[in-house]
Structure 1
Amino acid sequence: MKNFFQTRNLVRTAMTAAIYGALTIAISSLSYGPIQLRFTEIMVLLAFIDYGYIPGLVLGCVIANIFSPMGLVDMAFGSIATLISVFLISKTKNLLMATIYPSIVNGIVIALELHFILNLPLLLSFGEVALGEFIVVTCLGYPIFRTILKNTKLVKSLKFY
């Protein structure tokens, strides 16, 4: 943990947050709504490479959710969902399994948020959110990260410590 506060790691955390937040906002028409295609969610798989990405990913989600139609509620609950997802991803040894966590966790947390705040049907909301996460993280992110993981120099350069 002491190495986390090295300048290089703090810059990497800030860059991760900025990229996640800015790109999510830039494609906001796809990033917010019932079926969310947040292409930046592919970045959550960075936690599979190194748990040091967790703070930057969560902070990036907070930044992105400032502009969510749900505002403060989404800042809180969306960020909690991201925190749980990336924590589980960081503890997983199988990449394919790691890609499933965001679909399940975000599906549950965001569906509950949409149900209680907007009175949307719970199961439909779960299905829509989980589908969006599955398309982005599993269908797109899995092949991208399989390719990344084959490049040992790239993986080594992505490590925090």
Structure 2
Amino acid sequence: MPIRHLTGIALIAAIYAALTLAVAPFSYSLVQFRISECLTVLPWFTPLAIPGLFLGALIANLFSPVGFYDMIFGSLATFLAAWLTAKMPRPWLAPLPPVLVNALIIGILLGTVSGLGVVIPAAMLYVGAGQLVVCYGLGLPLLHVLERYRDRIPGADPSDRAEK
């Protein structure tokens, strides 16, 4: 794998972890406003974002109040959402997998092991609402801005999805 690709993966991981920790109280609450989740649109451009987001979530989840469970299930949820984002046929659908996957997986996680005393369906709704705001409110505009710079994104094929 070229150094440029490894650097891209590391950069995405570092930015994701730093953004998550910068707003830590909001990153780990029931209504999660992880500003870093706006980066979950990156797999729509390049598959290199998938391991970058996974590693970033793994690092950020080391500091989660839910601990080990968030490290495992939260990071795997990010991996699954990133992989599904790469499969989306249209840009406006790119933020959808992180919203749905995190609402389901993190909602179940917080409803069972967080000790917040909230039922699973409510936890799923809260997590999903926070994800919806961040992924569509910040992630979709980020996607549109990055579209102009597709040729500079490591691992992105400038002609790929150009017509979509």
Tell me the SS of whatever aligns to 1:70: coil
Out of 27, 44, 47, which is 1:48 matched to? 44
Shift in Å, 1:53: 1.0
Instruction: Give the aligned partner of residue 113 of structure 1.
Output: 109
Identity %: 33
Residues 8 and 154 in structure 2, CA contact (< 8 A), matched pair in contact too: no
Shift in Å, 1:79: 0.6
The Cα RMSD (Å) is: 1.2
Instruction: Give the aligned partner of residue 161 of structure 2.
Output: none
Tell me the SS of whatever aligns to 1:51: coil
Residue identity opposite 1:157 in structure 2: R
| Inter-partner Cα distance in structure 2 for 1:139 and 1:20 | 17
- Structure 1 residue runs of 5 or longer lacking an equivalent are none
TM-score, length-scaled by structure 1: 0.91
Shift in Å, 1:141: 1.3
TM-score, length-scaled by structure 2: 0.89
Residues 62 and 71 in structure 2, CA contact (< 8 A), matched pair in contact too: yes
Range moving further from structure 2, 95-104 or 78-87: 95-104
The size of the alignment, in residue pairs, is 154
Residues 42 and 140 in structure 1, CA contact (< 8 A), matched pair in contact too: yes
Residues 103 and 125 in structure 2, CA contact (< 8 A), matched pair in contact too: yes
- Structure 2 residue runs of 5 or longer lacking an equivalent are 157-164
Residue identity opposite 2:45 in structure 1: I
Shift >4 Å, 4+ stretches: none
Shift in Å, 1:147: 2.9
Instruction: Give the aligned partner of residue 148 of structure 1.
Output: 146
